[in-house]
Chain A
Amino acid sequence: MFHTLSGRDEQTLMKLVVDGDSDKVVGCHIVGPDAAEMVQIAAIPIRMGATKANFDATMALHPCAAEELVTMREKWQPPEDLPTT
């Protein structure tokens, strides 16, 4: 949001890794301003075994970057040409 006026071409990466079977959030990766602050807090629910459904049931704090952690809806799909291992 800051860069909508600064004009700097920079985005933030935010990624949750979810175990498909248990729905548990097993990873959280952020690159951008205040990433350390956000991930330190995300570490608590992840340590406690929170599920993606728990994240989704949490109300967003608007407007902030971290609200993306509770409003992610679409699952990342690997590009089709990605080699499968």
Chain B
Amino acid sequence: MGEYDYDLFVIGAGSGGVRAARVAASMGAKVAIAEEFRVGGTCVIRGCVPKKLLVYASKFHGLMEDAQGFGWSISPSSFDWQKLIANKDREIDRLNAIYLRNLLRSGVEVFETRAVLDDDHTIRLKNEDRTVTAKNILIATGAKPFIPQIGGAQHVITSNEALHLEELPKSIAIVGGGYIALEFATIFAGLGVNVSLLYRGPQILRGFDDEVRDFLAEQMIKRGVDIRCNTEVLSVTPDKIGDDKRGYVLDFKGGDSLHKQMVMYATGRVPNTLGLGLKSAGIELGWNGHVVVNEVSRSSVDHIYAVGDVTHRINLTPVAIAEAMAFCETVFNDNPTPVDHEFIATAVFSEPEVGTIGLS
């Protein structure tokens, strides 16, 4: 090695980054990883895992209703949101600790700081304000929620905040028609919140099988979710007239409006590449700011790679992990290994749940 501090420096300790760091270290490379928020990334900290725990929580209401048909009589039940969130957070803390421990046990050096590129071999550790150098760099910074420029955008929450609400609202408008919007509509509706899902397109789950889209919308409406397609929200304004002063008025294109206590936007996610110094390192970015990579996850700079959501290929944890494994094989075993992105099964953890693979 000699001239560089590390064989590999990974920016972002999510599903892809953690796997790449551990595997590269096990292959004998000297590895460091930097994370500005919490080790574990979107999936573990504010995505798949906490989401699915809340989905589990949301199922009991319906099950208790169903139970009566099976002879059970259920006495009046109550639900404690704070308790659920505390228990969920404890589980996330446990997983976060496991991820951190596994990194350290693999011999990976962990920097809990934001890291940016000064040039194509130099990484600046922001908290310590010093630089380190690496022969290879892996960008694995993931993505974050995107909120369009509407009037009152500062009043809305995203999935990040929805996982940590201090109190469960009585009513919520969820804007968006993708899987995140549908899963949170399921969670809130199951917990007794009055939910309206507002989507500007003609039907939810764009890109999915058309029969799946129609069927799911029908079933969710039957379960009490107010799904309104062809509905474009223009602005969100705090409501100061009604009794509920903490509410908001959503104004739609066409003149209609709606009052809800809370507004959540789930209108897509954008890659985390702003301010990372990628351009100064000569890395080509794509139309929505993603790192452009080839079939072995190599960027436009030969020794800089990117995996996971930041590359905006297929934004799923197992795909990021597969890309990370293939990256290690490519770089540290001198065996160029592409990832096969065909026939990937995915699910929408709505109620009812959707599972899907292949052509429609």
Chain A residues near B (Cβ < 8 Å) = 1-2, 4-5, 57-64, 67
Q: Which parts of B311-332 form the interface with A (CB within 8 Å)?
A: 316-319, 321-322
A-B contact pairs, 21 of them (CB 8 A): A1-B49, A1-B53, A2-B56, A4-B91, A5-B57, A5-B88, A5-B91, A57-B340, A58-B345, A59-B316, A59-B344, A59-B345, A60-B317, A60-B318, A60-B321, A61-B318, A61-B346, A61-B347, A62-B318, A63-B49, A67-B318
- Does B101 touch A at the CB level, under 8 Å? no
Which of B57, B87, B91, B316 meets A62, CB within 8 Å?
B316
- Does B170 touch A at the CB level, under 8 Å? no
B166 to chain A, nearest CB (A): 20
CA of A7 to CA of B57 in the docked complex: distance in angstroms?
A: 13
Which of A57, A61, A63 meets B345, CB within 8 Å?
A61
**Count class of interface residues, chain B:** 20 to 34
A62 to chain B, nearest CB (A): 5
CA of A34 to CA of B48 in the docked complex: distance in angstroms?
A: 20
- Does B52 touch A at the CB level, under 8 Å? yes
CA of A64 to CA of B345 in the docked complex: distance in angstroms?
A: 11
Which residues of the other chain, A, contact B53 by a CB distance below 8 angstroms?
Answer: 1, 4-5
Which residues of the other chain, A, contact B56 by a CB distance below 8 angstroms?
Answer: 1-2, 5
CA of A60 to CA of B346 in the docked complex: distance in angstroms?
A: 8
CA of A18 to CA of B23 in the docked complex: distance in angstroms?
A: 25
Which of A1, A59, A67 meets B52, CB within 8 Å?
A1
B40 to chain A, nearest CB (A): 13
Q: Which parts of B74-125 form the interface with A (CB within 8 Å)?
A: 84, 87-88, 91
Which of B52, B91, B340, B355 meets A63, CB within 8 Å?
B52
CA of A1 to CA of B345 in the docked complex: distance in angstroms?
A: 19
Closest-by-CB residue of B relative to A5 is B87
CA of A5 to CA of B50 in the docked complex: distance in angstroms?
A: 11
